[in-house]
Structure 1
Amino acid sequence: MSDAYKQAGVDIDAGYAVLKTIKQMSGNTQLGAFGGLFPLTSSDVANEPVLVAGTDGVGTKLLVAIAAQQHTTIGIDLVAMCVNDILAQGARPQFFLDYLGLGHTDQTRVKAILQGVVAGCKQAGTSLIGGETAEMPDMYGNGHYDLAGFAVGIANRADLLTPDNVRAGDVLIGLPSNGLHANGFSLVRDILFKQHHFELTHQFAELDHDLQTELLRPTQIYVASVLPLLQQKLVASIAHITGGGLIENVARALPAGLSAQFDLGSWSVPPIMSLLAKLGELTPSDMRSTFNLGLGMVLMVHPENLAATKAVLAAGQQAYVEVGRVNAGNTPVAFQEAAHA
């Protein structure tokens, strides 16, 4: 290969080695073509098929992974951020592509990153059909890299979840998060490492492990748990709780004139979030508009479908909690103290 290109900082041979590794990890021998292929069969969808696409990244959680030199789960975050969004539209994720931009192709580190991508795709039942590893010297420094992804799902048009499906009296079912997921990390880093100068090895009494372990918990992928609900048409609408927290994301899943009323205390808020609120002197509004507060997804379910929904979740060993109701109102998302017996 070109010695001149290598002297300029781009190792093409290292890129080929990475591609070979990805083929082995994913089991997809077709990787490396100019475009990824994904066959659709008649069993994938009937009636009027609609493709649902989503793209996302991991944000500044990457900086924590880089500082910790732990890269094996950040790819799971990437897949989760994309496929969970597609799932919230009522579609079944079909395939995924990733983009990794870096200054230097360290094969060990790249393998660790892509190991997470492959693991996330397997969790989501999604095919990794392509991607790009772009070595760009001078663009990224100090071991930094960027990671983005793109996913496509499919659904019958009539089965798509829209806010119009929601009605007053619907029940809010929360699916627990796996901690912070991949949102709010600019604020997290500001509080922990700029305001208070904690080390990643620091262990708070409230946590069972060090900060590094807590902050790098991968985002929960809900495809296996929620897909059966979609197939049985048990859910009216879904909010995937990402950037913007409970307030913004739940509002996106509601029509005008209805309000999601959460019962405070009906679910557990992860200790890391309570710690951040205390250390950063954050208001309840700050917390609700930034973090998931322990709920990675919120399902809106008609009362007549509630028992069946709970049964399906239980059968799939998916934890859940009833966290509120949908009522008439002009405030899209509201919080109230839970009623006590």
Structure 2
Amino acid sequence: MDDSVTYKTAGVDIDAGMESLRRIKKAAAATHNTSVLTGLGSFGSLFDMGATLKEFQEPVLVQSVDGVGTKLMVARMMGRYDTVGVDLVNHCCNDILCQGARGLTFLDYIAVDVLKPEQIEALVTGMAKACAANGVALVGGETAELPGVYAAGEYDLVGLITGVVDKSKIITGRDIKKGDVIIGLKSSGLHTNGYTLARKVLFDRMGFGVDSHHPELGTTVGEALLASHRDYSRPLLPVFEKRRVKGVAHITGGGLIDNVPRILPSNVDAVFKTSSWTVPALFRLIAQGGAVPKDDMYRSTNMGVGIILVVSPEEASAVAGDLKDAGEEPMFIGEIAEGSGATRLE
């Protein structure tokens, strides 16, 4: 009997890693443009900035890193992994959009307990789909098989985006003042935040499964929870070129309560009229099923508002018109008032 120990018997399958790489190369390559100088598997990812620099007078790189949180657990319960790849890219694109930037390159980090090439393929295929839609090149990543670190079936997903914006067009929020108007764009669901609360209420307290139907949702609980995080780059970047947008906040973890103050000067508050938009059924179901306090819902979820813009009253109608032309349904959901850099819900 052979009692020798190999890396594979210890828990790391290098061949599975190579098979995963083979499966994802085509999807990643489909996102590449002439600026990408290396393929997957290189020690570093090379990106020629020459063409990009010609488009900008004073180009500034913008970087952001984020994950998908416990939405990954819902994907595992559903046995579907491509959608969370889309979520990851769109989340990161929206984050740098808040400063007026568009994405250039994307890197991913996938950590698993046991490496399954078909799972990695699904995750990266989703990322590549979203990257291609956003004109972002998926230039590399890392897949780590970590037995003993993650429990059976557990995994994590992280993305790093690099984008660019002209220095004169960086959106900072510093010029936001009393009387400015807040415009919101609808979310497609929870996006990538609030899933720990949602799982606790829907699965543990209410007893739903991912295949359970609820009449208000119009679909299964699992499908409602797995709805892809919206990408706002395509409707908003053209608006940034035409109009003066003073501030943009991506409504992620922390909701309206914690995210909007990140762009506010210290002498004003963002006042939201919560009756000015219809909170989608999924959020109402979570709030009612868990008797969740209002402030907690608005701090842990987006409550149907995925991103907000702050504009002057003079620009508000034009910005809303541009958004409608782009197929959006802009909502006038609040205004800026004197304050101390906080969010107020009314």
TM-score band (shorter)?
Answer: over 0.9
What does the per-residue CA deviation read over 1:307-330, in whole Å, with 9 as the maximum and x for residues that have no partner? Answer: 331232122212221112112223
* Residues 1:295 and 2:274 are matched in the alignment: no
What does the per-residue CA deviation read over 1:177-217, in whole Å, with 9 as the maximum and x for residues that have no partner? Answer: 01111101111111122223321111112110111100111
Partner of 1:35 in structure 2? 44
Partner of 2:214, secondary structure, is coil
* Residues 1:195 and 2:195 are matched in the alignment: no
Partner of 2:15 in structure 1? 13
Partner of 1:268, secondary structure, is coil
Judged with a 3 Å threshold, the aligned counterparts in structure 2 of structure 1 residues 41 and 169 are, in CA distance, closer, same or farther, namely farther
Amino acid of the structure 2 residue aligned with 1:15: G
What does the per-residue CA deviation read over 1:24-46, in whole Å, with 9 as the maximum and x for residues that have no partner? Answer: 11224711101112222355543
Partner of 1:339 in structure 2? none
Counterparts of residues 1-341 of structure 1 (less than 5 Å): 4-27=6-29, 28=32, 30-44=39-53, 45-330=55-340, 332-336=342-346
What does the per-residue CA deviation read over 1:267-318, in whole Å, with 9 as the maximum and x for residues that have no partner? Answer: 1211010011101111111111111010000001112222331232122212
Q: Indicate the larger mover: 250-259 or 301-310.
A: 301-310
Unpaired segments ≥5 residues, structure 2 = 33-37
Judged with a 3 Å threshold, the aligned counterparts in structure 2 of structure 1 residues 236 and 284 are, in CA distance, closer, same or farther, namely same
Partner of 2:149, secondary structure, is coil
Name the CA distance, whole Å, in 2 between partners of 1:233 and 1:54: 25
Name the CA distance, whole Å, in 1 between partners of 2:116 and 2:283: 34
Partner of 2:215, secondary structure, is coil
Name the CA distance, whole Å, in 2 between partners of 1:319 and 1:34: 44
After TM superposition, give the deviation of residue 233 of structure 1 in Å: 4.2
Partner of 2:129, secondary structure, is helix
Partner of 2:300, secondary structure, is coil
Name the CA distance, whole Å, in 2 between partners of 1:218 and 1:329: 35
Partner of 1:113, secondary structure, is helix
Q: Is the Cα–Cα contact under 8 Å of residues 86 and 126 in structure 2 kept in the other structure? A: yes
Q: Indicate the larger mover: 21-30 or 151-160.
A: 21-30
Q: Indicate the larger mover: 29-38 or 289-298.
A: 29-38
Query: What fraction of aligned residue pairs are identical, expressed as a percent?
Result: 40
Name the CA distance, whole Å, in 2 between partners of 1:179 and 1:136: 32
Q: How many residues align?
A: 334
Q: Is the Cα–Cα contact under 8 Å of residues 234 and 308 in structure 1 kept in the other structure? A: no
Q: Is the Cα–Cα contact under 8 Å of residues 53 and 152 in structure 1 kept in the other structure? A: yes
After TM superposition, give the deviation of residue 5 of structure 1 in Å: 2.1
State the TM-score, normalizing by the size of structure 2: 0.92
Name the CA distance, whole Å, in 2 between partners of 1:36 and 1:231: 30
Partner of 2:6, secondary structure, is helix
After TM superposition, give the deviation of residue 331 of structure 1 in Å: 6.3
State the TM-score, normalizing by the size of structure 1: 0.93
Unpaired segments ≥5 residues, structure 1 = 337-341
Name the CA distance, whole Å, in 2 between partners of 1:138 and 1:69: 22
What does the per-residue CA deviation read over 1:110-139, in whole Å, with 9 as the maximum and x for residues that have no partner? Answer: 111111111221232211111011122222
After TM superposition, give the deviation of residue 164 of structure 1 in Å: 0.7
Name the CA distance, whole Å, in 2 between partners of 1:291 and 1:136: 31
Q: Indicate the larger mover: 7-16 or 235-244.
A: 7-16
Partner of 2:222, secondary structure, is helix
Q: Is the Cα–Cα contact under 8 Å of residues 123 and 221 in structure 1 kept in the other structure? A: no
Name the CA distance, whole Å, in 1 between partners of 2:278 and 2:134: 26
